[in-house]
Amino acid sequence: MDSRPALPAETELRLITLAQQGDRRAFGELVRRHREGVVNVVYRMCEDANLAEDAAQEAFIRAWQHLPSYRPRSPFRNWVYRIATNVALDALRRERETVNVDMLPPVASQDGPEATVEGKERGEQVRQAVLALPPASRAVLVLREYEGLSYREIADTLGIPIGTVMSRLNYARNRLRELLAPCLEAL
Amino acid sequence: MTEHVTVWLGAYHDGELRGLRLRQVEAHLAHCATCRTELERLGALTALLQESPAAAGLTPPERFVAQVKLRLPRRPERPATQRALETGWRLAPLGLLGAWAFIQAMFIVAGVVLVALRMGLGGEVIAGLFPASQQGAWLTDAFTLSDAGLNDIGRSALWLLSGGGGLGWTLTLHLVLLVVIGLLYWSWLASWVVRTRIPGQQRIR
């Protein structure tokens, strides 16, 4: 879930207005504030930290280029997540041509030497199961489970109807329950 | 027992159900062990997903921001014609307001001038306003309405404006012009609303 504090709307709006006028420092502040969320979305989509950082930077560059057309009808976060999701899907498409997802390196554990082998294995199984989902369902799952967006926000972010959000999320969860059945039974 | 609510359990688990549907699912869960078990499994799956570690070894935030700023391309300038069109579009309501004021003034002035002319006061009034040397040919024409100074169409128009065709015609013409201006204004307002709402929906590539 997203534990980052929400930004005061007025401050963010001011930064967006300045950035729309070409203020790079204001845009840098927006990048700093949304970096963690964007990197996280892209990382959960592709499960590769290096690829995620590159793709996140690419997402912010696209956001800068399209910023004049942004209207604050929907939150900036949703808008930039949409770009990040598109960039992640593009990156995955490119990577798939050269790299087998099953061959991706395991992630480095943050828990240190005291972390159990069982926990590491389970984390790795979850990672592989999420990667096995179709990209469209994975995007919905990531935005819901890891970023805590509401269905309406997900619909707005991905430009799809709420009914589609629900069906993709149901599909993703059912598929994960099949793939992770041994882990779930062990819990 | 009512039909299982499996299809709604995900939305219930995420706190997305409202109203009647929420009450239906809650009522069903109160007496259906199967659906309660399904709901518990959804909770377990969410907990399991959180066990997947977040990305590690990321670039520090300030360095990441600096890298992005270095890669930012110069934003292409919009062409001058596009900027001019944009400015013109924004100023459209002012233009419509000006048109409305002009029409109102035209009707008032035309009415006053023609009434004055009919009463034989025009010559003295205009002569007082403009010295003889500044009076143009158009003034001469205006004062010789009954002569051949105006063609038939012009004379008819002034006849209508002066109420010669009846008050109804003058008012109708006046109202039609105001309605046209009103419609143009509402069209501008509608297009403004559309322009404000649509861009956020497009897929960005």
Residue to test with chain A: of B39, B52, B72, B77, most A Cβ within 10 A: B52
Q: Would you tell me which residues 33-62 of chain A have a C-beta closer than 8 angstroms to some C-beta of chain B?
A: 35-36, 39-40, 43, 49, 52-53, 56-57, 60-62
For chain A, percent of residues with pLDDT exceeding 70:
81
Lowest-pLDDT range of A83-92, B31-40, B52-61: B52-61
Query: 3-state secondary structure string, chain B?
Result: CCCCCHHHHHHHHCCCCCHHHHHHHHHHHHHCHHHHHHHHHHHHHHHHHCCCCCCCCCCCHHHHHHHHHHHCCCCCCCCHHHHHHHHHHHHHHHHHHHHHHHHHHHHHHHHHHHHHHHCCCHHHHHHHHCCHHHCCHHHHHHHCCCCCCCCHHHHHHHHHHCCCCCHHHHHHHHHHHHHHHHHHHHHHHHHHHHHHHCHHHCCCC
Please check the confidence at residue B90 and state whether its pLDDT lies above 60.
Answer: yes
Q: How close, in Å, is residue B65 to chain A by CA atoms?
A: 6
> Which pLDDT tens digit goes with each residue over B17-35?
989 999 999 999 999 999 9
Residues of chain A with pLDDT under 70: 1-10, 96-119, 187
> Which is more confidently placed, B114 or A43?
A43
- Find the mean pLDDT for residues B61-71: 90
The C-alpha atoms of residue A118 and residue B74 are separated, in whole angstroms, by 50
> Which pLDDT tens digit goes with each residue over A98-131?
544 444 444 444 445 555 566 677 888 888 899 8
Query: What per-residue confidence (pLDDT) applies to B177?
Result: 86
| Residue B57, phi then psi, degrees to nearest 5 | 65, 35
Element (H, E) at A135: helix A135-141
- pTM for the model stands at 0.62
> Which pLDDT tens digit goes with each residue over B137-184?
544 555 454 444 445 555 555 555 555 555 567 778 878 888 888 899
Mean predicted lDDT score pLDDT of chain B: 75
Cα end-to-end distance, chain B, whole Å = 50
Which residue from B51, B196, B203 is facing A122, i.e. has the nearest CB?
Answer: B51
Q: How confident is the model at residue B114 (pLDDT cuts 50, 70, 90)?
A: confident
Cβ–Cβ under 8 Å, residues A172 and A158: no
